[in-house]
Amino acid sequence: MRPMAKLLLVVLAAFFLTGIAAASYSLSDTNSYDYKLASKYIHSMEGDEYVVEMPIEVYKKGTNDLLATENTLLIVGNLGKVDPEAERLVLTEIPTDVHSYTYTGETYDGPRTLTGKVTAGRYMFTEFGINQKYKTVGEFTTYLKADLENSVASSSARIEYVDTTISGHRVVGVRELRDNSNWQAGGVASDDHLENKFTYFVVREDFYPAGSGLAYFKIRGNIDYTHKNGRSLSDDPYPPASQVDAARSAMNRAYEDGNRVVDSVIADAANAKATLIVGNYNEVFGGYGAGSFSLNTPGGGAGETDYSIPLVVVTGIFSAGAALAGAAAAAAGGGGNGGSETERTSTYKMRIRKDFEDYIVCGKSPETIYAQMIETTAEGEVIERDDLTATLSITSGGGLRVEDPTLAGSYMGAFVSADENELAEEGIVRVAYTGMGGSFTNNIHFRIIGEPRVTFPEQGEAMDLRLNVLYGDSMTYDVEVELVDFIEPPKEVTITQADEAPFTSSLEKIDDTHYIAKIVNTSPLPEKGAPVTRYGARVIATYEDDKSVEEAFTVIFYPEGISVTDIVYDDEGHAQFAAYDDLDTEEDDVAATGFIVNLAVRVTENGKEVVKLLDGTEYAPEFGELKGTDPRTEVLASRFKYTLDKKPDNTNKAYKFAPAQQIGEDERNPYFLELPITCEYGDETYGLDLPIRLIGDKLGVRKDRETELANLKKRIQKFGINPDTARFLRENVQNFTAAELRLMSKKIVYDSIVYYTQESADFMETADTMDDWITFLSIVKWFGDQAFSYLMTVYTGPAGEAILTPTKELTVELIGELSADLFMGNGVKWDEIKVGVHISEMIENYTKSCFEDIGKTNPKKLAQVIAGLCVFNLVRHYSFDLDENGKRSLYNAIISSFSDISLEFFSKKFGDFLKGKLDDPKSSISKLLNSSAARMLEDMMPEGKLAVPGVNTLTEDVAIGPILQKYVEGLFGFGASYVTEELGTAAAETLYVKVTVDVPGSEREIDWYVVINPVKAADKLLEYIFTSLYEAFPFPTAQLGSASELRDPLYMDPETNRRIG
The enclosing H or E element of 319 equals none
Q: What is the pLDDT of residue 389?
A: 94
What pLDDT, on the 0 to 100 scale, is given for residue 20?
A: 36
Other CB atoms closer than 10 Å to residue 30's CB: what's the count?
A: 14
Q: What secondary structure, in 3-state letters, does 812-868 show?
A: HHHHHHHHHHHHHCCCCCHHHCHHHHHHHHHHHHHHHHHHHCHHHCCHHHHHHHHHH
Higher local confidence (pLDDT), 760 or 106: 106
pLDDT in tens, 29-64: 888 888 888 877 778 777 788 888 888 888 999 899
- What confidence score (pLDDT) does residue 308 get? 86
243: number of Cβ within 10 Å = 16
- pLDDT over 60 (residue 1041): no
Task: Using the predicted structure, report yes or no on whether residue 1026 has a pLDDT greater than 60.
Answer: yes
Q: How confident is the model at residue 428 (pLDDT cuts 50, 70, 90)?
A: very high
Is residue 909 within 8 A of residue 873, CB to CB? The reply is: yes
Question: For 1052-1061, what is each residue's pLDDT tens digit?
Answer: 555 554 555 4
Give pLDDT tens digits for 330-386. 443 433 332 334 455 678 899 999 999 999 999 889 999 999 999 988 677 899 999
Predicted TM-score (pTM) of the model is 0.43
pLDDT at 108 (0 to 100): 85
- For residues 556 and 553, give the distance between their C-alpha atoms in angstroms, rounded to a whole number: 10
Query: Between these two residues, 7 and 618, which has the higher pLDDT value?
Result: 618
Q: For residue range 764-819, what is the model confidence (pLDDT) as tens digits?
A: 444 444 444 444 445 555 555 655 665 655 555 555 666 667 777 777 776 666 65
Check residues 131 and 931 and name the one with the higher pLDDT. 131
Phi–psi pair at 868, nearest 5 degrees: -60, -40
> For 69-78, 160-169, 513-522, 899-908, which range has the lowest pLDDT when averaged over its residues?
899-908
- Rounded average pLDDT over 4-13: 29
Name, in order, each residue with C-beta under 8 angstroms of 862's C-beta and a sequence gap of 6 or more. 846, 850, 1029, 1030, 1033
pLDDT tens per residue, range 166-205? 999 999 999 999 988 765 444 444 578 999 999 999 999 9
Measured distance CA(908)–CA(416) in Å, rounded: 40
Alpha-carbon distances of 657 from 590, 595, 626, 796, rounded to whole Å: 11, 8, 11, 17
Can you tell me whether residue 22 is helix, strand or coil? coil
pLDDT at 321: 39
- Asked if residues 272 and 82 have their Cβ atoms less than 8 Å apart, the reply is yes
Asked which of 393-402, 497-506, 598-607, 736-745 is least confident by mean pLDDT, the reply is 736-745
Type of residue at 872: F
Number of H helices and number of E strands within the chain?
24, 45
**Helices assigned H by DSSP within 940-998:** 960-972, 983-987
| Strand-pair partners of 124 | 221
* Residue 1008 CB-density burial (10 A; 0-12 exposed, 13-18 middle, 19+ buried): buried
Q: Quickly list DSSP for 425-467.
A: SEEEEEEEEEETTEEEEEEEEEEEE-S-EEE-GGGTTSSS-EE
pLDDT at residue 1039 tops 50: no
The per-residue pLDDT for 224 is: 94
pLDDT at 758 over 70: no
Specify the 3-state DSSP secondary structure of 131: strand
pLDDT given at position 1028: 76
248, pLDDT greater than 90: yes
The three-point CA angle 968-969-972 to 5° equals: 80
Indicate if the pLDDT at residue 877 is higher than 70.
yes
Angle separating helix axes 1018-1030 and 960-972, nearest 10 degrees: 70
pLDDT tens string 80-133 = 999 998 878 888 899 999 999 999 998 888 899 999 999 999 999 999 999 988
Q: How high is the pLDDT of residue 643? A: 92
Arithmetic mean of pLDDT over the chain: 78
Ordered by where they begin, the domains of the chain are 3-76+277-449 (2.60.40.10), 84-253 (no CATH), 453-558 (2.60.40.60), 567-606+615-693 (2.60.40), 704-774 (no CATH), 779-902+1035-1061 (no CATH), 927-1015 (no CATH)
Q: Which amino acid is at 495?
A: I
Instruction: Please tell me the least confidently modeled range out of 28-37, 675-684, 993-1002.
Output: 993-1002
Per-residue model confidence as pLDDT tens digits over 635-661: 888 888 899 999 887 788 999 999 887
Q: What pLDDT was estimated at residue 775?
A: 44
% of the chain with per-residue pLDDT over 90:
33
Q: Cα–Cα distance between 907 and 1038 in angstroms, integer?
A: 11
Q: Angle, nearest 10°, between helix axes 890-897 and 859-880?
A: 130
3-state secondary structure of 974: coil
Q: Which residues of 923-953 are buried (b: 16+ CB within 10 A; e: fewer)?
A: bebbebbebbbebbbeeebeeeebebeebee
**With 60 as the cut, is the pLDDT of residue 621 above it?**
yes
For 128-173, write each residue's pLDDT tens digit.
999 988 889 999 999 999 999 999 999 989 999 999 999 999 999 9
